Chains A and B, each alone.
Chain A
Amino acid sequence: MVKRRKVLKAGALLSVPAIFGGGAANAQLCRPTGMRSLGTEPDSPPVTAYTEPLFIPPKLENIGAAALNPPIDPSRHQRYDEFEAVNVTEQHITEGVWNYHSDLSALTPAQAGAPAGSGSIAWMFSGGEGTGGQPSTPGPTLVARYGEPVFVRRHNDLPSADDVFMPIGYPAISTHLHNAHTASESDGYPMDFAMPGEFWEHHYAMYYARNDSNEGMGSLWYHDHMIDFTATNVYAGLSGMAIFYDEFDSGDETDPNPNAFNLPGNMQFGDDGAGNSLGFDISMILHDVRFTPDGNPTYNVFDTDGHLGDLITVNRKVQPFMNVKRRKYRLRIYDGGPSRFYELGFYKTSDRDTPISFDIIANDGNLLEEPFRGATSVIVGPANRNDVIIDFSQFAAGEEIEILNLAEQVNGQGPTGRRLKGNDRMKVLQFRVVEMDPGEVDVSTVPNALRPFPSIPPQAVLDTLIHREWVFDHDMGLWTVNGQFMDPSIVSAAPKQGTAEVWTFRNAGSSWAHPCHVHFEECQILEWNGKKPTGVLKARKDVMTLGPNDVVKVFYRFDDFVGRYVIHCHNNVHEDNAMMLRWDITPG
């Protein structure tokens, strides 16, 4: 039995999942004899930290519906006529090379049509404004606004499996827009894959669930969800960010609308190539990557516990730097996985002992009811997103601020619960503080009240609803949910459209962690290990990051669209090793 009294006061999480505390973590430090460990994988070649400028993806370009050939076929999409697309984009997914770090690129051979020394092998997305078709990883950021439906046609232009250079993954794609309230056929369902030479279309209605603005979402991401190959395809490069705005969270700090929160942001995306961002609302996705001696990503596909990289990348740059002005920034921090959990803190390079405090305003991309002020660290598991506001005006120009990872993790199963100390902390990113331009003023605010939560029925009503339990476990070498493994012909739950249910997620494991993700809807946390959620956990979430033996009870509603969805572990390695079930929303 796990003793909870030793739970670490980890950052802002007042009700802490057992993942970062408790005795259970010791179990994974003592693994059976003969088990493989990180030591069996070679270290990445050495790189110099904080020399590579941060890449900030540009905005996806709206090319207009008329530019699509063949044209959009409304009959393929639920409720298309109600939500006719006004923001139409086209992306090509290709294989090429990507400069993760110039020290690594220098080692690379001629590959994928690129000369030696030009970059690591990568799968990438095109479609960014002003890129001239140049692809990137992460892909261009989908910037969308509620009420302005989006249509994305994604072409799989990867080589066939016979010809592909990427040593891992499989060149079929199904792109999931993580946490979007999306009709099944546009969701990136794992069986809706496009082979090389084919495309798939995604219609995002940009419609609040139940037409309730309290259901508005903010930080989402698109990533590959190919059946059996999600972890490796995402690792290969197939991830990108998405931002949803509305009149409250409008992305414009100067917005005169009295409803607007005026959070930091100027609707500018991208960077100048030298570490300067064009905007103040910055998305940062973390992927831990391991590289071969010739500078290419490597991965042990046979390790079904999970994959750990030894270098942290931010927007696919190894330990980058970014210049920041002496003002507030909104940082949307994503854990892109596949298997690493982070506890991130901000420190001055000149004083790595004193954590810098910041505000957390969103969990899993959904605004909290009120900001969590004065956080000193933020915990993210695979696929979790936290928006934080940090005010760099408290520092002098010329000061350097680092993001360090404090969470120790020695295998893909989950973190040990121990905090890294001193120089063992992993370098993530460095900010270099510069003065604002003459006459420039920071008019952004972080209001005390953000987006209210949608209402939850009283307990008496909740008691009358259907309750379902999803147990995440390990059995016979398989990662299982309710003792089952992924079979797309088995429907494990079929709630009716227009209904609500209470779901419980239980981690039956005593030494591993599971970030449990449900497609289509985020939920509201009712109880975390039997207690009401507080702090940052009092949130609308789509990835319940369960530590050993954690139990979470949540409230779900199923409205607006019907079809096939999945529930799975977002340690994508577990997902690919069967930890996924299909569930359907059926017509009410």
Chain B
Amino acid sequence: MKDRRKMLALLAVGLPSLAAAGTSESSALAKKSAFKDCPRGITGPTAHRFPQAIVTDQNKEKAWFYEELIHDKIVLVNFTSVRGEKHYPIVANMVKVQNMIGDRLGKDVFIYTISTDPYHDTPESLKELADSHGAKWQFLTGAPEDVKGILQGFGIRGTINGLSWVGNEKTGRWMTKATRQHPLYIAEAVARLSTGKHFKPFLVDMHSV
């Protein structure tokens, strides 16, 4: 992959360096993008879709969203809010997915629930939501402008959304599953996009003949 060498070189730089100009993947692309295009120290296949922004999880841990949570990882991203969850619950189904992913969670597969209501959702309220379901993944909120930029990158509108994104940012493959679909198919998407020993083309063979 032609970008891999470049990426590795950038990896060596470490955390995002706002000052490191000219390291983005394509200067011509960055020039025309309507997204924020701050030069970043770490880049990857979909980096240009996301703002360089800090998010906070339910344990008040702060992280650069793309650079620390997405880059080079297999992720499962879904969206809700404390209020939205009352009308269109998704966390319970995602807990079933969490159980299928097992001990890969937090090692090479990362689940994130991004708040669609950063104006109201605090780390405390998200912690209550997560803990009440036994959810062990990160629930993310932050400065509304930053979170809105991230939601916009995923094309999320409104406070309720039924779409989950499954991505492998090592290979740049991303796909969606309905968040309330049978958890098996969401776990299958994670297995299909995995590479190396965790790769499985399917969890249930549904081929004919």
Report B29-55 CB contacts with A as 1/0, cut-off 8 Å: 101111100000000011001000000
Q: Give Cα distance in the complex from A160 to B193, angstroms.
A: 11
Cβ-closest 10 pairs across A and B:
A476-B162, A477-B161, A293-B28, A42-B32, A485-B178, A191-B206, A185-B208, A40-B34, A228-B175, A478-B162
Say whether A304 contacts B176, CB under 8 Å: yes
A161 close to chain B: CB less than 8 A? yes
| Chain A residues with CB under 8 A of B189 | 228
Say whether A185 contacts B34, CB under 8 Å: no
A→B interface (CB under 8 Å) = 32, 34-36, 39-40, 42-43, 76, 109-111, 160-165, 167-168, 170, 172, 184-185, 189, 191-193, 195, 228-229, 292-294, 300-305, 475-478, 485-489, 563-564, 576-578
Closest to A489 in B: B182
| Chain A residues with CB under 8 A of B172 | 167-168
Say whether A161 contacts B195, CB under 8 Å: yes
| Chain B residues with CB under 8 A of A476 | 88, 160-163
Flag the segment in B61-69, B126-134, B147-155 that touches A: B147-155
Say whether A40 contacts B33, CB under 8 Å: yes
| Chain B residues with CB under 8 A of A293 | 26, 28-29
Of A34, A43, A294, A300, the contact of B32 (CB 8 Å cutoff): A43
Of B174, B182, B206, the contact of A301 (CB 8 Å cutoff): B174
Interface bracket on B: 35 or more
B→A interface (CB under 8 Å) = 1-2, 26, 28-29, 31-35, 45-46, 49, 79, 88, 148, 152-158, 160-163, 165, 168, 171-178, 181-182, 185, 189, 192-193, 195-196, 199, 201, 206-209
| Chain A residues with CB under 8 A of B176 | 228, 304, 576-578
CB distance from B20 to the nearest CB of A (A): 21
Say whether A487 contacts B174, CB under 8 Å: no
Closest to B182 in A: A487
Say whether B28 contacts A42, CB under 8 Å: yes
Q: Give Cα distance in the complex from A303 to B165, angstroms.
A: 12
Closest to A43 in B: B32
| Chain B residues with CB under 8 A of A164 | 171
CB distance from A170 to the nearest CB of B (A): 6
Say whether A184 contacts B208, CB under 8 Å: yes
Given A301-B174, A475-B162, A578-B178, A192–B208 Cβ distance below 8 Å?
A: yes
Q: Give Cα distance in the complex from A551 to B174, angstroms.
A: 34
Of B2, B148, B155, the contact of A302 (CB 8 Å cutoff): B155
Q: Give Cα distance in the complex from A89 to B101, angstroms.
A: 42
Closest to B165 in A: A302
Q: List 25 A-B contacts (CB under 8 A).
A: A34-B148, A36-B34, A40-B33, A42-B28, A161-B171, A161-B193, A164-B171, A165-B1, A167-B45, A168-B172, A185-B209, A189-B208, A228-B176, A292-B29, A293-B26, A293-B29, A301-B174, A301-B175, A302-B46, A477-B155, A477-B158, A478-B163, A478-B178, A563-B208, A578-B176
Main secondary structure of the interface of A (DSSP, over half): loop
Given A293-B29, A477-B157, A576–B209 Cβ distance below 8 Å?
A: no
| Chain A residues with CB under 8 A of B148 | 34
CB distance from B200 to the nearest CB of A (A): 10
| Chain B residues with CB under 8 A of A478 | 162-163, 178
CB distance from B102 to the nearest CB of A (A): 22
Say whether B34 contacts A39, CB under 8 Å: yes
| Chain A residues with CB under 8 A of B28 | 42, 293
Closest to A300 in B: B49
Of B2, B163, B208, the contact of A577 (CB 8 Å cutoff): B163
Q: Give Cα distance in the complex from A407 to B209, angstroms.
A: 44
| Chain A residues with CB under 8 A of B2 | 109-111, 165
Q: Give Cα distance in the complex from A43 to B93, angstroms.
A: 40
Say whether B163 contacts A576, CB under 8 Å: no
CB distance from B81 to the nearest CB of A (A): 13
| Chain A residues with CB under 8 A of B156 | 477
Q: Give Cα distance in the complex from A192 to B209, angstroms.
A: 9
CB distance from B166 to the nearest CB of A (A): 9
CB distance from A554 to the nearest CB of B (A): 26
CB distance from B100 to the nearest CB of A (A): 16
Closest to B49 in A: A302
Say whether A477 contacts B193, CB under 8 Å: no
Given A293-B26, A577-B176, A302–B171 Cβ distance below 8 Å?
A: no
Q: Give Cα distance in the complex from A40 to B149, angstroms.
A: 13
Closest to A298 in B: B29
Of A163, A172, A228, A477, the contact of B201 (CB 8 Å cutoff): A172
| Chain A residues with CB under 8 A of B209 | 76, 185
**Given contact pairs A302-B174, A577-B176, a sample of 8 additional A-B residue pairs in the complex whose CB atoms are under 8 Å apart:** A42-B28, A42-B32, A161-B195, A304-B155, A477-B158, A485-B181, A489-B206, A563-B208
| Chain B residues with CB under 8 A of A489 | 182, 206
| Chain A residues with CB under 8 A of B199 | 161
| Chain B residues with CB under 8 A of A294 | 26
Say whether A36 contacts B155, CB under 8 Å: yes
Of A170, A185, A300, the contact of B173 (CB 8 Å cutoff): A170
CB distance from B154 to the nearest CB of A (A): 6
| Chain B residues with CB under 8 A of A43 | 32
Say whether A170 contacts B49, CB under 8 Å: no
| Chain B residues with CB under 8 A of A485 | 162, 178, 181
Q: Give Cα distance in the complex from A189 to B209, angstroms.
A: 12
CB distance from B119 to the nearest CB of A (A): 14
| Chain B residues with CB under 8 A of A39 | 34
| Chain B residues with CB under 8 A of A191 | 206-208
CB distance from B201 to the nearest CB of A (A): 5
| Chain A residues with CB under 8 A of B33 | 40, 42
| Chain B residues with CB under 8 A of A229 | 175
Say whether B1 contacts A302, CB under 8 Å: no
